[in-house]
Amino acid sequence: MSMWQLKYFGFVISFLFLSANYFSALAQGVNPNTPDQIRRAYDKAFETMFKDPGNLEKTFSFAGLAIKAGDFEGAISSLERMLILDPNLPRIRYELGVLYFKLGSYDVAATYFEELLEDKKTPKAIVEQAAPFIEEIESRLTNHSFSGSTFSGIKYQTNASSGPRSTKVKLFGAPSFLPDEFTNKGDFDVFVSGSINYSYDFQSEPKKLLEAGLNIYGNEQFDQTFVN
């Protein structure tokens, strides 16, 4: 097959691909809250692209308006069609990765971002833009997650010893005297508390999690050290 035939074949596939998505794009519509101005521009851009499916500039223009209109699926179809016509478009791969990320298709998004990193011709600026998405995807796709927190401070208690106000007490029903050091005493103390939480996501629908937690608390009295 000659080079001309290959290009023609690719153009035919692209045109059929666009035609097949014409009614699906109209059927799904755009975000109902989309401003009329953007909606009209979106419709016009689609018609312009449909009349000239081989024009990458018109296709990219429609994809941008589709994103503004909330039609992520339409934007994805257009951008993927651009890669059929020209696979060497790193910016398009980046945009596809972002769109799939927004739709929650993290595996597909990761594929596009990884292709950018593997291609040595990818501009450094695009690689830097993709890096945060890759990091976030790795975090969301892992089954294990840990979290924790710590809190510390100093407080004063009017009855830090938790003792009675008087030295006169009853012990086994009989009157008795309690040493003064064990009666009601105010005191300052420093304290620290912490928690560690673990979660395992079974990656199932409906969502199932296995969770475990550990809480720690400790304090140190300034004077009433016997209650530490």
Average pLDDT rounded to a whole number, residues 62-82: 93
DSSP, collapsed to helix, strand or coil, labels residue 210 as: strand
Beta bridge pairs of residue 176: 169
**What DSSP letter does each residue of 116-145 carry, written as one string?**
HHH-TTS-HHHHHHHHHHHHHHHHHH-SEE
Q: Of 32-41, 98-107, 161-170, give the lowest mean pLDDT range.
A: 161-170
Are 95 and 16 found together in one domain? yes
Q: Which of 140, 101, 141, 134 is nearest to 116 (CA)?
A: 134
Are 130 and 203 found together in one domain? no
Q: CB of 8 within 8 A of CB of 39?
A: no
Q: Which of 141, 176, 203 is the last residue of a domain?
A: 141
Are 23 and 129 found together in one domain? yes
Instruction: Assess whether pLDDT exceeds 80 at residue 120.
Output: yes
Q: Which of 73, 12, 17, 67 is nearest to 45 (CA)?
A: 67
Name the domain count of the chain.
Answer: 2
How many Å apart are CA 77 and CA 61, to the nearest integer? 13
Average pLDDT rounded to a whole number, residues 103-129: 94
Q: Which of 78, 111, 141 is the last residue of a domain?
A: 141
pLDDT, one tens digit per residue, over 136-193 is 998 888 888 888 999 899 988 877 766 776 667 676 777 777 676 666 777 888 989 9
Contacts of 72 (CB under 8 A, 6+ apart): 66, 99, 102, 103
pLDDT, one tens digit per residue, over 87-96 is 999 999 999 9
Average pLDDT rounded to a whole number, residues 22-41: 70
pLDDT, one tens digit per residue, over 125-134 is 999 999 999 9
Q: CB of 192 within 8 A of CB of 218?
A: yes
Are 103 and 149 found together in one domain? no
Q: CB of 92 within 8 A of CB of 67?
A: no
Q: Which of 141, 166, 196 is the last residue of a domain?
A: 141
CATH number at residue 7: 1.25.40.10
Domain of 212, in residue numbers: 144-227
Neighbours of 137 (CB within 10 A): 19
Q: Which of 16, 3, 4 is nearest to 84 (CA)?
A: 16
How many Å apart are CA 89 and CA 93, to the nearest integer? 7
